[in-house]
Structure 1
């Protein structure tokens, strides 16, 4: 996915707007921690593991895997409606070309499968909120309720059913309990998780990304439950968590002192495209229309079908 940073907020405030908890959580320095957590968790889904592993790009360029996925989530959360709709359609087109056979079950996989998309979506939004709660200021109960409603809205841009997206903390726990039986690891899954957490500079990512990812992993692993850490074979002693949490909170606080520039400073080493989006977010003036839209309105205005309808009428 390519991104023109000058187009992030041309038309409107997107789906949520500047007073939303989504803008608050997704533009916090803790989002980098949360998203490393998310891309590691993705590999517990065997169908997603097969899709990512078969392309093999993760082994030569793990930074791109994290960066491109992070950039998409950011665009949906803070971009204008046109940018978000076009990013969604581009991603679905790319995913449609990636199909194959998942070796454990022998079933066909597709990244656009609704269950796979639901796993990606919930782990992404939940992970950034978890990091925001653990290392940042957290949300009020009212803000959290709105955050999960916004998470469901964002799901409309993917192939999962929005009604399947939980809108409460208890609902998220129930979702994880329901899917736990089908989560598993394999040699390829563990290789993928470890690649995202403990990247080696020898794989083409470079020393700066490898060092940044490894340092970040101390915080991202500390946010995970023990059963996930043991299943993924990246558990650490409890004393490490106890030391990491205050240190990470201090670092987040220091980055927050720079205001909106905090995450822009934190992101580029790990996710340069995400850093561009956040820089554009900070620099963007008022959009043409000071309002938010729904995904349905966005598709009608800017989606492929909407563009075809406009062309036919003109």
Structure 2
């Protein structure tokens, strides 16, 4: 009997274990706030879709892309990447200051979206209590050269370590700004429109989650948005409390939510492949010894994969 296809990453990867964590949703929203600070990237989104009308669909499509590329077969992952590349290939945006027309699949813009997501995923899960070693964080960055390839980037030009990711943000920061488009994303994420009966739920559920995602942004992003950064120790306590609470929800319950990528992957590969952050804890302890596996308080993401 042929061996089942583990997909692009497989159960031995950091990605496989990490992407099953519920704090990835908080990280995805952080990525949206971060991505909006790149003027050309955010214009590519806003000029090719009605973000305010389809923000939830965009978030779900991005989650589906991440789930498919992480837990789907190799064929499914490649198909998802081809679909994203096809959409990007047809779209362009205009710089209102110069009138320049530029493609949405410009490698610099794709790289910004990619790095904002990877930084957000790593930052939030580590800071929320997952004891990920530095070697595992580097492995995660290296693994996601695969996801970068899927959206049309040359893997050789994509940061493959945490240090390279930090250097990338230092290089790109002078090009970031709070544009009118970024203000629109910020306003939406803080207070998305919902039907009147859902307003209390928005404040109770979304308001807390979005506030936490925003708080987890790096200090320079808070400065660009024009609001003071909360004390790092307070944010870390809130992230750890949220992580502890969400991880109390049994995985079998969380994984029942559509589109059930993890359940299908485990059915394909066997029960021993169930993702768990505790697998990462054990491996870090074995590889690095006591005290090396840790969370972090500093840092550079939902996210934007398809403008349409």
Aligned residue number for residue 164 of structure 1: 157
- Deviation, 1:164, is 1.5
CA contact (8 A) 1:255 1:263 kept: no
CA contact (8 A) 2:84 2:151 kept: no
| The one of 268, 276, 279 aligned to 2:258 | 276
Query: What's the C-alpha RMSD, in Å, of the aligned pairs?
Result: 2.9
1:232/1:65 CA distance change after superposition, 3 Å: farther
Aligned residue number for residue 141 of structure 1: 134
Question: Given the alignment of the two structures, is residue 49 of structure 1 paired with residue 42 of structure 2, yes or no?
Answer: yes
- Deviation, 1:207, is 6.5
1:50/1:82 CA distance change after superposition, 3 Å: same
- Deviation, 1:193, is 2.8
Aligned residue number for residue 251 of structure 1: 242
Structure with the bigger percentage of helix: 1
**TM-score normalized by the length of structure 2:** 0.77
Aligned residue number for residue 6 of structure 1: none
CA contact (8 A) 1:184 1:231 kept: yes
Q: Gapped runs of 5+ residues in structure 2? A: 271-308
CA contact (8 A) 1:22 1:77 kept: yes
- More displaced 10-residue stretch of structure 1: 152-161 or 251-260: 251-260
Compare relative contact order (CA 8 Å, sep 6+) and give the higher one, 1 or 2.
2
- Deviation, 1:183, is 1.4
- More displaced 10-residue stretch of structure 1: 127-136 or 214-223: 214-223
1:108/1:209 CA distance change after superposition, 3 Å: farther
Question: Given the alignment of the two structures, is residue 128 of structure 1 paired with residue 121 of structure 2, yes or no?
Answer: yes
Deviations 1:55-89 (A, max 9, x none): 34211132112221232123222221111111111
- Deviation, 1:36, is 0.4
Aligned residue number for residue 17 of structure 2: 24
**TM-score normalized by the length of structure 1:** 0.76
Tell me the distance in 1 between the aligned counterparts of 2:199 and 2:88: 27
Aligned residue number for residue 95 of structure 2: 102
